[in-house]
Structure 1
Amino acid sequence: LCQEKRHDELIERLLGAIDNLAKSGAEFAALSANTPHIVFDKLQARSPIPLISIVEAACEEAGRRGLRKIGLLGTIFTMTGDFFKAPFIKSGIQVVVPQESELSRISDRITKELELGVVRDETLAYFQQVIAGMQDEDGIEAIVLGCTELPLVLNDEVSPVPCLDTMQIHINAIVREILRDE
């Protein structure tokens, strides 16, 4: 649906799931992937319950760490869309994406390998090279793992710069919300 830019259909599909959660007693919901956040604002406006944004949580974490310039890896939709960058820019954090010639290759490694559970040393080496290039050429201070499969190959121990693992950051935000009223 994202690839075909069928965003209204994506909203309806996600809203149906959220409505079911709300009817079952859920007090809030979260989209557990980065790319569907392409419709997050419209979805949140129609949601019967609050939604916790993976993008906003990652932005808050970057701010907490005092970061001013971050790199972003993810699907082609995440890297090229404004939906992921906007909260960071609004918070005064510059977002750098890989060179245009790398975008499709990065997205392909995610969709044709990592999403299928295929983890290859060559893919790690490629991502390390891309991140190192962004650090050298653009001065990024950290890399946002803007796809929940990226932690299969990248983490602070193997990345040239610290990683912002959006999946773990989102989990932490969800747990904080659960514990907020206790």
Structure 2
Amino acid sequence: MQTIGLIGGLSWESSAVYYEGLNKGVQAQLGGLHSAKVVLVSVDLAELTDLQQQGDWDTVAQILGDAAKGAEAAGADFLLLAATTFHRVYDQIAAAVSIPVVHLADLMAERIKAAGFSTVGFMGTAFTLTDHFFAERIGSHGINVNMPDELHTDTLDSIVYDELIFRTINPSSRKRVIGIVDELTDAGAEAIVFAASELSLLVRPQDVEIPVLDVITVHVEDAVSRALA
């Protein structure tokens, strides 16, 4: 079994879901008392968010690159960056280490195409909805990526940063997110990409009428397959 490197703390709530998913995935495959071999390097989300808001991506890249080096030094065979937003500095992180760093957008595109979808709706934080770097990388694989109405940008950002990061599950917020999913469905989306990992804590696949592809599930399932290959 290979050792999975995980850069977490982005947020720690979603990192906990990653850790649980990795261990449950390995146990489901191997049975018994088996669990995943994981090296977790956790960073301070507040520090990185402040730097992000200042536009200081060089320092963000340095911090996450150092975290990646730490995971490699501790024995990780490959690396997951447990956040969509900070894939903005993926190239710098990948250049900092000699082990593979899995790009989440490429994994998501592979999953979308394998399921036979050509058009997806995209939901995330304000940064991923306005910067477009993540959606564009998915789109580079020949997939149509539809964004929600700009009126919803602040709503989704607030739900993630003011509620879900603190594990606050608000039924009214669930209703609002489902309403946005319905709008994207009406506009032609065949599936929904939850590009903010925390959204999967709020809305479950059975809550909506079309398939939901959340980044944690896609990332974890691929990592378990890689670790056990």
Fold shared, TM-score > 0.5 on shorter chain: yes
Matches within 5 A, 1:4-19: 4-19=54-69
CA-based RMSD = 1.3
Correspondence for 2:194: 145
Correspondence for 2:150: 100
What's the CA shift string for 1:44-71, capped at 9, x where partnerless? 2333321012222111111111111111
Give the letter for the 1:66 counterpart.
G
Contact 1:57–1:170, Cα closer than 8 Å, also in 2: yes
Long gaps (5+) in structure 1: none
Give the letter for the 1:143 counterpart.
I
- 3-state DSSP of counterpart to 2:189: coil
- 3-state DSSP of counterpart to 1:2: helix
Correspondence for 1:170: 219
What's the CA shift string for 1:150-174, capped at 9, x where partnerless? 1111122002321001101100111
Matches within 5 A, 1:108-147: 108-136=158-186, 138-147=187-196
Contact 1:73–1:97, Cα closer than 8 Å, also in 2: yes
- 3-state DSSP of counterpart to 2:54: coil
Q: Percent identity?
A: 27
Q: TM-score normalized by structure 2?
A: 0.75
- 3-state DSSP of counterpart to 1:49: coil
Stretches of 4+ moved more than 2 A in 1?
A: 1-4, 45-48
Q: Partners in 1 of 2:158 and 2:226 — Cα distance?
A: 34
Long gaps (5+) in structure 2: 1-50
1:35 aligns with 2:73: no
1:69 aligns with 2:69: no
Q: Partners in 1 of 2:70 and 2:154 — Cα distance?
A: 35
Equivalent of residue 54 in structure 1, options 81, 90, 104: 104
Contact 1:128–1:160, Cα closer than 8 Å, also in 2: no
Give 1:77 deviation, angstroms. 1.3
Across the two proteins, how many residue pairs are aligned to each other? 179
Q: TM-score normalized by structure 1?
A: 0.93
